[in-house]
Structures are given as C-alpha cells and as structure tokens.
Amino acid sequence: MQPPRSSRGLLGLTALLGVALVGALCWRGQPKQRTEGAPDPGQVTRTGNPSTHPPVSGAARSTSQLKLDQQANIAPDHLTAKEQKEAVVKQWGEFLKTEKTLLGAETFDPLAKRWIERARVRTLIEEWKTLEHAWPERTEQERTEQLPRIQAMWQEAMEEFAAELTAAGHPTILPPPR
C-alpha cells in the first residue's frame, strides 16, 4: 500500500532538507586549506593610523572546534569570598571521596580516624570551627582576607592525610590547589 500523493511530496521534501542539513554540517566542519600568501584568518591586520581604527574585539575562533569547560574556566578573583571558600572545601572533599573510593571503606575509615586523631589536625579542625562560626558576621573584605588562611589550613590538613596514607603503605599525590 502506497501513501497518498500529498504525503509522498512531504516525505520527499523532508528527506531533501535532511540531506541538505547533513551536507551543510559536514561541509562546515571541514577545515579550509590556506593558499600561500593568503592572510591568516586569526591574525588581525590594520591599515592606516591605529588610533583611527578601534581594535577588533571578540574571542578567537577555534579551528579544531574546541569549547571552554565552564567549570574549569572560572577565575578565582571573579568569585565572591564565599564561593572561593566553597571551591576549596569542594576540591578537598572530592579528593577525600576519591581516596575512599580507591582504597575502599574498610581501609579508608581507619586511616581517616587516625588522621583526625593527630594533634595538628585537631588544632586545624578547631580553627576551622572558629572561622566557620564567625564567617556570617564578617564583611566581604574580611572574608577575602581569610581566604589564604583557609587554603593553607586545608592544604596542611591534606598533607597530614597524605602522610597518614603513606605511613599505611598507600602513597598518594595531592592535587594542586585551585
């Protein structure tokens, strides 16, 4: 049984548009060959007095279709102090979670307990509690001034954790601070 005549025309038109779309996408994705002596498309050329021509603005286009990862493309100075503090805590929380996944709970939990019982780590935890308690009452400037100490506290605590892992025969490499 064949479809009615009007359906065949619509079906043909849809197929034609699909082929045209696929062709356009394939053609657009192919890098163009530069001819000798042709200007580089990524290079800005100016003529005349530079003060009379405004600079060309806009992001450079990628010939290999690379895209920015918005999660990794965050400059710390564009975040509030609260967001920066949360980023530090998140980074080290992810590190601990990864280590627990790699080692398994039966190995990780006793190591973590020994780590928390270390005198220096207990001191850092008490300092962190004090900082967290006072955080809401601080101004943004005071919070920003606390960020280097927050980063140093977490770095030191994770170095203590790495030492505990190494002592137990599970050496690890700390990620670089963000």
Q: State how many domains the chain has.
A: 1
CA 102 from chain centre, in angstroms, equals 22
Does residue 98 form part of some domain? yes
Domain containing residue 158: 80-167
The pLDDT, as a whole number, for residue 90 is: 92
Please report where in the chains the tokens 């943004």 appear, as a residue.
140
CA distance 72 to 74: 6
CA distance 92 to 157: 10
The pLDDT, as a whole number, for residue 114 is: 93
Does residue 18 form part of some domain? no
Does residue 125 form part of some domain? yes
Model pLDDT for residues 77-122, shown as the tens digit of each residue: 578 888 989 998 999 899 999 999 999 999 999 999 999 999 999 9
CA distance 30 to 27: 6
Does residue 64 form part of some domain? no
Does residue 173 form part of some domain? no
Does residue 26 form part of some domain? no
Does residue 94 form part of some domain? yes
Q: From 40, 46, 143, select the one nearest 86 (Cα to Cα).
A: 143
Indicate the pLDDT class of residue 176, thresholds 50, 70 and 90: confident
CA distance 81 to 151: 12
Does residue 117 form part of some domain? yes
pTM of the model: 0.54
Q: From 159, 148, 174, select the one nearest 85 (Cα to Cα).
A: 148
